[in-house]
Amino acid sequence: MAKKKTKFICQDCGYESPKWMGKCPGCGNWNTMVEEVEQVAANRRGAFTGATTSTSLKPQSISSIESTSEPRIFTKLSELNRVLGGGIVKGSLVLIGGDPGIGKSTLLLQTSAQLADSNYKVLYISGEESTKQTKLRADRLNINAPQLYVHSETNLELISHIISEMNPDFVVIDSIQTIYHPDITSAPGSVSQVRECTADLMRIAKTEGIAIFIVGHVTKEGAIAGPRLLEHMVDTVLYFEGERHHTYRILRAVKNRFGSTNEMGIFEMKESGLEEVLNPSEIFLEERSQGAAGSIVVASMEGTRPVLVELQALISPTSFGNPRRMATGIDHNRVSLLMAVLEKRVGLLLQNQDAYLKVAGGVKLDEPAIDLAIAVSIASSFRDIPSNPADVVIGEIGLTGEVRRVSRIEQRVQEAVKLGFKRVILPERNLGGWNIPKGVEVVGVSTVAEALQYTLGG
């Protein structure tokens, strides 16, 4: 007979304790310890008696293993294919997280319908909606694919039975926090349930060769709800970002065993569903005001794609004891660092100025190549001198005020030329080794002061 064991598990980080505690020692959060009951086998040693008689293969030399390329399945959404690393890999487990109402279910339902139209059998399991409610959403998206099967179920054993009977090519679970395993006594969405259900789905994906997409809820901090172990178990973790009151959505990969994690896909939410944005630079620059101080355009790399976005800065005298440093879309610590460089190396008196910076369009930039554009926008707003609207600024800044080289400079410049920009300010060490496109002036600078001389005239 199995005996019951009670333990307390943190619902944020998965820390286990034999007794209840108000504050979790693992993550430091309060009131996150929840009592759960686990089944403990009476003879634990007997569970491993078959390990020595296993027929598993012996370890092989890596040079003797044949390398085979995994075939990928392409969807009709090229943005999704890019973020996944070139398409869907059979037998993969993909986790998609995002805020409520951001469009996770819409994206997966559209993708399921497109795969079903390509003669793939797709099973869409919803634990939050009935089949009629899913049908209403499908009618709104003009979806009527015979190969797309919809089912409403939360019991994992029944779900596994349905998958084994149907043998689909793709499975969508919406969402993992609503699925429960009947052998576990804790509530759906708890650490134990999420962990065990994900482990069973991973086993199904690997043994049957079925690509499984699971939807994960997020916490108020923006992380996927449940233990961090959930992100370690799956093959790919995608985040669907964007403001609910804006139409543009950004799909990012924060983990991908089959591709790069630097790719970004951009979609526009419309009444008929999500539509991909093939040229995001035009979208981010379409509302740019001409001749405004503090505005500059930077060419940033999002994976293998160059994206031109507008950086805006507002510098004003402070009315507080300590000046404020606020930034949206970029790290505010980097803003403070670059303001210190401008004050020390260029002579701008910024210690009594509030600084507010924003990346227009809701994009988040984290690469060093945007440093020079941040510095130029701050100096432009501080001096109240607008920069040339036909300029694009690229470069990394060191603490001594030097401008360092950046990667993939040719792709950045070509994107600027395609959108009609006439001059590109870039690091001097990036000038050689590539062909400069026609119709654009390329200016190499070695210091921040030199870049301000070209862009602001001093």
Known binding positions for ATP: 98-105
* Helix (H), strand (E) at residue 299: strand 295-302
Binding residues: 98-105
- Residues 237, 216: Cα–Cα separation, whole Å: 10
* Helix (H), strand (E) at residue 427: strand 423-427
User: Which residue's entry shows tokens 């294919």?
Assistant: 81
The structure tokens listed for 387 are 């920069």
- Residues 266, 247: Cα–Cα separation, whole Å: 10
Specify the amino acid at residue 175.
S
Sign of the alpha-carbon dihedral angle for 193, 196, 198, 204: negative
User: Is the peptide bond preceding residue 61 cis, with omega within 30 degrees of 0?
Assistant: no
Write the CB contacts of 380 (distance below 8 Å, at least 6 apart in sequence). Answer: 293, 294, 295, 296, 313, 386, 387, 455, 456
Classify residue 314 by burial, with Cβ atoms within 10 Å: 0-12, 13-18, 19+.
middle
Sign of the alpha-carbon dihedral angle for 173, 175, 176, 181: negative
The structure tokens listed for 322 are 């300590």
Candidates 356, 365, 426; CA nearest to 395 is: 426
Q: What is the dihedral of CA 148, 149, 150, 155, to 10 degrees?
A: -130
DSSP 342: I
Candidates 102, 108, 74; CA nearest to 88 is: 74
Q: What is the dihedral of CA 80, 84, 88, 89, to 10 degrees?
A: 180
- What's the Cα-to-Cα distance from 343 to each of 346, 352, 426, 453, rounded to whole Å? 6, 11, 21, 16
Kindly give the residue spans of alpha helices, DSSP state H, lying in 118-238: 131-140, 156-166, 191-208, 229-233
| Helix %, strand %, coil % of the chain (to 5) | 30, 30, 40
User: Which residue's entry shows tokens 């990928």?
Assistant: 72
